[in-house]
Chains A and B, each alone.
Chain A
Amino acid sequence: MTYRIGIDIGGTFTDFAMLKGDQVILHKNLSTPQDRSLGVMEGLGALAEKEGLDLAAFLGQCEAIVHGTTIADNTLIEMNGAHTGLITTEGFRDEVEYRRGHKEDIWDVRLAPPKQITPRRRRMTVSERLLHDGTVHVPLDEGSVRDAARRLGKQGVESVAVSLLFSFVNPDHEKRVRELVAEELPNAQISLSHEVLPRAPEYDRTSTTVVNAYVAPRVTSYLQRLVQRLKEGGYRNHLMVMQASGGVMTVDYIEGSPIRVLASGPAGGVVGSAHVGVAKNAKHLLCVDMGGTSYDMSLVLDGSAPAEAGWNMHHRYLIGVPMVKVETLGAGGGSICHVKSGELMVGPRSAGSEPGPIAYGRGGTDPTVTDALVMLGILSTDEGFAGGSFRLSKDGVTEAFAAIGAQMGTDAETAAFDSWRVVNANMSQGVRRTTAGKGIDPKDLTMLAYGGNGPAFAAIQAEDLGITRVLVPKASPTFSALGTLVANPMIDEERSYHAKATQLDLDRLKAMWGELADRARRYFADAGYPADKVACNYQLAMRYGGQNFALTFDIKHDGKLGDLSFVDAGLGVRAIELFNARHMAEYNHIREYETPEVVGVRLATHVVTPTPAVGAGFAAAAGKPSPAKTRRANLGQGFAEIPVYAGSTLKPGDVVPSPAIIEETFTTIVVYPGWTAKVDDAGDYELLKD
């Protein structure tokens, strides 16, 4: 027997999803913040025990261990990364501080600045200049490089970002800077912009490289420690690491650009969603993850989670590497309901988990969304909450909503109901903004809800957006771990190339795609995947002259690694046709009189690895379960006695008519009026609009 194990480390829990043949085994234990690899080893020990093996024998039989980590995110949240310096082209010292003028709130003149990773004193310039075609305009002054390195050394810099203009066209200067800095500062880590993000423009690339340099020492030392522990424990294969792009890759590959693991946790959840969605015949998904502090929204289109590069502001820094797009709204169970000048507002301030909602009974005094759900009778105060660890209490909740009601001229229950309406509306707006500009109508999507609070709102959210089908998988609490297990090894890289589509330099294109293919071949080979197992999509990024946003599409779908026979005289004509089709789909017009230009050459590669099977369908005989009890609750149409079902007693085929509340171990599912819940053959829930 061999095993594949997905591991996701969260703030509170470390989740495991183990694939054993066709079977998925889930496990959870507490995270160990001081050294997170300890919690990983503890969980692996527990899984070994379940299998009746000692750890060494168990790890010896593990074919793959796949890992999603929040270490880079935590470094940025806590702002405790490496002491970082920046070396850049003379004249461009301050671009990273200007942020292209971006300010997160145009109305609030009291918005504080983000903490600088490289304050001006640690930004050095060197004399050199390349032109946009890569030719040398000013040669590199090596003395200025050594001087810059020494100045950074005097300031105790541990990690150096190097970002020179047009280095993505010609990396010679950056490479030489690395050699010189390494001589001057032998202990410093060095991040080169043309390796981290080889594309224009300079702020995007510099910011991404600076953040990379900032998180790199922590990420690499953590991963090396984990690799070491696993090796000592008896694991003989590569540790694979989840990337924000939704794919996994070896530690060696990640270490070339550790920023790739940023935001990889939510990406795991989206990849898991895509996998479940495909199995359940829902290729276009709106994935919503509502936890304690936030409401995360993402899209799955055609069964995959699209990763976007570009203007990704993340923790107030621009990160240009491809990321599965996850939009976050400050609307979770802990979001605080309050009145400001006669207007009822929910969030973005959150009570967090400490003290948490009033209903947690841990000293919280601000009414939250969770408290509103208690007021409305949607959440129970009868029995255990969050897996039975504690009980919710209504003490103080009514009074808090009565205070809100007093300001709004209503009673406590109405105030709670209005809070529920406001948070619903905020989420609907959030979804609309997520789909904005993509030409996607939410009503064409299936919703997939997870996170502790997602299923309580899912159907009413769906209704608001015109969505008629909602999936609530039973495994949703460990979704991110499942996602890392589902994710394929993936390398997706772009190189900058600028030319009119009618004037393509085919030799240059071949050289660029060839280099990308060589890189992919090498890393996949290291990871144990031969070239013939690697699926390739050769892509072009194109736009009309002057446009700032390119559209990326496959120019050769499902090609072979290194087979560049598609780069022929007809390439330009095919590219224009495909681009115009994309532009029409995206913007509903094309420009007949303009010749589009190519701005990027891309190779997206992956290897398909075994994934857990997901059950689906409704072969089981329809059952009519009985509710365990009733409870006075308001599901949007006033208070009434609502049937309450125990999720543990429901079986495949069971149909739960509305209105109803289904209580699962870690979550509560609401069947709003006009909806029906069905349990499918896998034991997962589907909510369907009548």
Chain B
Amino acid sequence: MSYELNRLLAARKAPLPTSKTVDPVTATIIRGAMETICIEAATHLGRAASSAIINQSNERNGAIADAHGRLAGAAIGTPHLSFVTQSEVAYGLMKQEEYDWGPGDVFLANDPDYGGGHLPDYCVYAPVYSDDGELIMVQCLQAHQGDTGGKDPGGFTLEATDIYTEGLAFPCIKLVHRGKRRHDVFDFIVRNNRLPTFAGDLAAMIGGVQHSVRLLTDMIHKWGAGVVKAAINTNIDQTERRVREVVASWPDGTYEGTTWIDADTQGIKDVKVHVTCTVAGDQLTVDLTGTDDRPELVGVWNTFSNSRSYIMTQVVAMMDPTINKNEGFFNAVRLVIPEGSIAQPPPNKPAALGSFHPACEITEAVCIALSGIVPERAAPQVYKMGMPNAVIGFDENGQMWLEQGVDTRTHDASAVKGIDGWGACPNALGNLLLAQAEDAEPRFPILSKSREMVTDSEGPGQWRGMPGSTNVKQVLKPAMAMAWMVTQEHPLRGMCGGEDASPYANWFDVGTAKERKVPLAENAQLEPGAVIAYTYGGGGGFGPALLRDPQAVLEDVLDEYISVKRAHEKYGVVIKGHFDDYNLEVDLAATEALRKAMGVEDLREPAE
């Protein structure tokens, strides 16, 4: 629990020792098998779990670390979480002898100061041994839990100033010893969780990794430990080589990006993230020097491993998607994260909210920095809601229910060069499944009223972002809902001349005398019948809006993504006819004149 530990966890780790060599084709085959096994484990968990956040929203990840704590393969889930896994395992590996690791063991970790993300992200992992007892790899499953046993139900506390407020932290604890569940440990952990379905979820996670361990053991038996180790080494090297090839194709130079959080949870304004990306030959360096480090900040402390992961999530998005996702990325890209900054906090800081922000602002800043050299992939892989829009209440037994609020709506779906933003989210979140009213209403005392797109909330651009949306619902029993707004002044950024997205806004007690737009942060106690409304920001635009094809602007008007007025003001497109008569068309002459007056001539050259 120190900067020194962070350095150890992040240090480049040696390849697995083996005298075997493996041809690239066999290495590919073994990688495919490992990815498939990850999918099996995650599928198993998704079907058996009973918390909505896991089985409805699919928020679970399968990944494999090798015996040295390197990411050997990641196949499913969200990259933001997958790229944290290996650091948590790396800590456990340091304790192998002390904690008596052996075949059949299963462990749990979630500690922000020991390689983890925030507390709710439980990582259950199990070592896999060769026939002669050599540790080869570790199968991991990670899933967001609805509670962590801290001060506030749900695991998020706006005013927390230490990790103890947020709940139980596990650096590495054994759940299963040599194939037998440790019931005392299991029951203790379950006792400290408010959610009645937690025990089932934890059992499902254990079942998932055990299933994978059997398959991986068979795989090692089939190929031999030496070949499997050589394959892991080869695949990691291959990824590093491919990443370096991509970087070498980029122009050398220094590229910067700055992003902001409006304020921390207590109102300290303008929390800054600054990224400098340096390309020198085949070496990419991402340096967070200049990022905020004011010790008085509350709620905006991102864990070290999470900062590394959120940087890499954007780096990965800006490269050829067929490059295999493993430690090779970390080997190829140098990360500089200042100690004491909000991207590598001092020990014992709270972590729940920081895993959202500044984590996402780090991702966004990397995108801004690289957008000039990789415009065709410059879409920030972020979510700008301050925190989960969960609604929480208690049943007659005093046990918690949690409507996780990952409802079906759209947010932050930005454009890239040549493609408008589309769908409900950035690609990196495309494995999640958004919750449905017909699944939620029979389970929770919630009535869903609306979740439609908001006209004119797209980030304008030559390619526009997807509009944002407003999710309105009513609570039917007493409940609590928390909010932290981070984008009122600093919404999601447009790229390469594209305009910013619309900001988020949350309202409580809509339609009553108490109706209010949450200015910064609030832990609201809601009475039965209270209506809440969450407006999600749209996606950022790409390129100058005045260069958008006027016909595409007309299509957007017909679809009510934008209004006629917006077409005029933002895109310089004049549309005539009547919407209700479905006879709208572009007035080409007027459009040309308007665009000229708005300065389109100045834009044309550099954008082409």
Binding site for B on A (CB under 8 A): 90-95, 97-113, 119-121, 131-132, 137, 151, 154-155, 165-166, 200-203, 340-345, 408, 418, 421-422, 425-426, 428-429, 432-433, 436-437, 498, 543-549, 586-589, 591, 593-594
Contact = CB atoms under 8 A, between A and B. Distances in A.
Nearest to B442: A132
Contacts of A109: 317-318, 321, 377, 379, 381, 416, 426-427
A591 B200 contact: yes
Interface string B117-139: 00000000000000000000000
Given A94-B469, A106-B428, A201-B437, A101 B423 contact: yes
Contacts of A99: 423-424
B29 A422 contact: yes
Interface stretch (B105-113, B165-173, B238-246, B296-304): B238-246
Interface residues of B, number: 91
Contact of A165 (B33, B43, B437, B581): B437
A105 B76 CA distance: 10
B317 A422 contact: no
A94 B431 contact: no
Enumerate the 6 nearest inter-chain pairs by beta-carbon distance, A residue then B residue, closest first: A103-B430, A91-B450, A546-B50, A201-B436, A437-B43, A200-B438
A98 B431 contact: no
Given A94-B451, A201-B437, A546-B51, A422 B28 contact: yes
B595 to A, nearest CB: 25
A91 B472 contact: yes
B32 A344 contact: no
Contact of A111 (B197, B211, B427): B427
A101 B24 contact: no
Contacts of A437: 40, 43-44, 47
Contacts of A548: 46-47, 52, 55-56, 439
Given A201-B437, A546-B51, 13 more contacts: A109-B416, A113-B420, A165-B438, A341-B245, A342-B24, A408-B24, A422-B28, A422-B29, A433-B36, A545-B50, A548-B47, A549-B55, A591-B200
Contacts of B250: none
Interface stretch (B88-96, B284-292, B339-347, B553-561): B553-561
Given A92-B451, A119-B559, A498-B442, A341 B242 contact: yes
A100 B424 contact: yes
B341 to A, nearest CB: 28
B25 interface: yes
Contact of B452 (A91, A101, A121): A91
Contacts of A105: 321, 427, 430
Contacts of B197: 544-546
A102 B430 CA distance: 5
Contacts of B448: 91
B188 interface: no
A442 B33 CA distance: 14
B254 to A, nearest CB: 24
The listed residue with most B CB atoms (<10 A of its CB), out of A119, A340, A428, A587, is A587
Contacts of B43: 436-437
A103 B423 contact: yes
Interface in B443-473: 443, 447-453, 469, 472
A137 B450 CA distance: 14
24 contacts: A91-B448, A92-B437, A92-B451, A94-B453, A98-B408, A98-B423, A100-B433, A102-B423, A103-B423, A107-B79, A107-B316, A109-B318, A109-B321, A119-B559, A120-B560, A341-B245, A341-B323, A342-B24, A344-B28, A425-B33, A429-B32, A437-B43, A544-B200, A589-B203
B438 A201 contact: yes
A105 B78 CA distance: 11
A346 B432 CA distance: 29
Contact of B581 (A108, A131, A154, A341): A154
Given A108-B321, A408-B24, A421-B29, A547 B438 contact: no
Contacts of A107: 79, 316-317, 321, 325, 427-428
Contact of A101 (B35, B52, B416, B433): B433
Nearest to A203: B436
Contact of A436 (B36, B426, B427): B36
Contacts of A100: 408, 424, 433-434, 436
A6 to B, nearest CB: 35
Interface of B: 23-26, 28-29, 32-33, 35-37, 39-40, 43-44, 46-52, 55-56, 78-79, 197, 199-200, 203-204, 207, 211, 238, 241-242, 245, 316-318, 320-323, 325, 376-377, 379, 381, 408-410, 416, 418-420, 422-434, 436-439, 441-443, 447-453, 469, 472, 558-561, 581-582
B168 to A, nearest CB: 22
Nearest to A432: B36
B51 A202 contact: no
A547 B47 CA distance: 7
Contacts of B428: 106-107
Contact of A98 (B321, B424, B560): B424
A580 B437 CA distance: 28
A114 to B, nearest CB: 9
A335 to B, nearest CB: 15
B51 A110 contact: no
A342 B436 contact: no
A408 B51 CA distance: 48
Contacts of B26: 421
A340 B424 contact: no
B438 A341 contact: no
A98 B410 contact: yes
Contacts of B28: 343-344, 422, 425
Nearest to A91: B450
B50 A106 contact: no
Given A91-B451, A101-B432, A426 B32 contact: yes
Nearest to A111: B427
A589 B376 CA distance: 47
A101 B422 CA distance: 10
A272 to B, nearest CB: 28
A110 B377 contact: yes
A588 B430 contact: no
Nearest to A594: B200
Nearest to B429: A101
B50 A547 contact: yes
A171 B559 CA distance: 29
B5 to A, nearest CB: 31
A98 B32 CA distance: 31
A43 B576 CA distance: 56
Contacts of A586: 47-48
Nearest to A156: B582
Contacts of B47: 437, 547-549, 586-587
Contacts of B50: 543-547
Contacts of A104: 430
A108 B323 CA distance: 11
Contacts of B425: 101, 103
Contacts of A433: 36, 39-40
Contacts of B418: 110
Given A202-B437, A587-B47, A92 B427 contact: no
Given A108-B321, A498-B442, A547 B582 contact: no
Nearest to B432: A101
Nearest to B441: A132
Contacts of A593: 199
Contacts of B37: 432
A569 to B, nearest CB: 25
A425 B29 contact: yes
The listed residue with most B CB atoms (<10 A of its CB), out of A92, A341, A426, A548, is A548
The listed residue with most A CB atoms (<10 A of its CB), out of B25, B379, B433, is B25
A107 B431 CA distance: 10
Contacts of B472: 91
B29 A121 contact: no
Given A101-B425, A108-B427, A121 B558 contact: yes
